[in-house]
Amino acid sequence: MSHPEASAPQPRDLPPGQYVPRGWPVLHYGPVPKFRPKDWDFRVFGATASGEQHRWSWEEFDALPRVRAVSDFHCVTKFTIPGNEWEGVPGTAIVELAPPAPDVTHVMVWAEYGYSANIRMSDFLADGTMFATHHDGERLSPDHGFPTRIVVPHLYAWKSVKWVRGVEYLVKDRRGFWEERGYHNVADPWSEQRYSYQEDEGEAPPL
């Protein structure tokens, strides 16, 4: 399969409070899961247009249309990794293959061990958002999310969930794993949206 050219690198301006470290720190909650390709699948469920669940095996998922894009990676712990080349299945492709119901506003991204992160549908469909399988021309390492992680480069990286297994379409927003534990519901690094106490009206799901 031929791949499109990577998009141009983003400017090297850093969001407030960020710095560029040496290397790429590895941060995650819980152990690194083992990948068993025969048992692995990717599912889209919740408020789908058909009312049915969509499912791909690993071989099917790895053959889906893919893109490449270059973007910076902003961790809420204040490091930024500039100029990452990601390759993977864009959020737009998932929505085309598994259409959401018209009233879907958010998605919950689910990963191994029940880990989750919520994002707005507009963020899910944004340029650069993808289920990455490769980083800088190589398959993701297990520590960085192999076989696939979502990358949402314009948000803090806890939204870029590792070891993804599926997407739930939501007609009403609700908080994911870290959002329930005090992190900002939106997570825009340029506005330093780190913690839930910083949320403005309309940025948080209703109680």
Task: Write down the pLDDT at residue 22.
Answer: 82
pLDDT at 8: 38
In a domain? residue 191: no
Q: Are strands 80-90 and 149-151 parallel, antiparallel or unpaired?
A: unpaired
Asked if the structure places residue 166 within a domain, the reply is yes
The residue range of the domain holding 72 is 40-173
- pLDDT value, residue 28: 67
Does residue 179 form part of some domain?
no
- The secondary structure of residue 64, as a DSSP letter, is S
Tokens of 82: 């500039």
Q: Could you give the CA distance from residue 97 to residue 3 in angstroms, rounded to a whole number?
A: 19
Alpha helices (H) in the chain, listed in sequence order? 58-62, 91-97, 121-124
pLDDT at position 1 is: 39
Number of compact structural domains in the chain:
1
Tens of each residue's pLDDT in the chain, 207 residues: 334 444 434 446 899 999 998 877 776 667 889 999 999 999 999 999 999 999 999 999 999 999 999 999 999 999 999 999 999 999 999 999 999 999 999 999 999 999 999 999 999 999 999 999 999 999 999 999 999 999 999 999 999 999 999 999 999 999 999 999 999 999 999 999 999 999 887 788 876
Token pair recorded at residue 60: 């099917």
Q: Is residue 33 part of a domain?
A: no
Nearest in space to 71 (alpha carbons), one of 54, 58, 55, 88? 88
Is residue 17 included in any domain, yes or no?
A: no
Distance CA 197, CA 184 (A): 8
